[in-house]
Amino acid sequence: MANPHRGEVALVLDGETHVLRLTLGALAELEATLAEDSLVALVERFETGAFSARDLLALLAAALKGGGSSVTPAALAAAEIAGGAQEAARVAARLLALSFAGVPDPAPVSPS
């Protein structure tokens, strides 16, 4: 089960649930793969919507590795993702949000 407090998100590939996590190593690998000079540039690439399907696969592959999965980038590219490209993009966005914004605090309790 994915733990959002650790920055983890679940993704179902070929019917099997995997935990993804953008560790520092995964982010460094992603920077190198996408030829970005900084984390800021990397995040902006996704925030502005200027990313390709190849970028999305690279992010998911790095996060799978960061989550401890043995799924290779080639296997990911050939896998059936439950929810399709839309779910892949949602998972990528959630991973980035958890990695850089953290888990939001629960709603404050109003005094009675």
Q: What pLDDT, on the 0 to 100 scale, is given for residue 99?
A: 87
Q: What pLDDT, on the 0 to 100 scale, is given for residue 41?
A: 87
Backbone angles phi, psi at 35, to 5 degrees: 55, 45
Residue 110 has pLDDT above 80, yes or no: no
- Average pLDDT on 63-82 reads 96
Which residues is 18 bridged to in the sheet? 11
Residues 81-96: tens digit of each pLDDT: 999 999 999 999 999 9
Backbone angles phi, psi at 7, to 5 degrees: 80, 20
Burial per residue of 70-102, b for 16 or more beta-carbon CB atoms within 10 angstroms, e otherwise: ebeeeebeebebeeeeeebbebbebbbbbbeee
Residue 104 has pLDDT above 70, yes or no: no
Residue 16 has pLDDT above 60, yes or no: yes
- Binned at pLDDT 50, 70 and 90, residue 107 comes out as low
Nearest to 66 by CA among 10, 15, 17, 24: 24
- Binned at pLDDT 50, 70 and 90, residue 23 comes out as very high
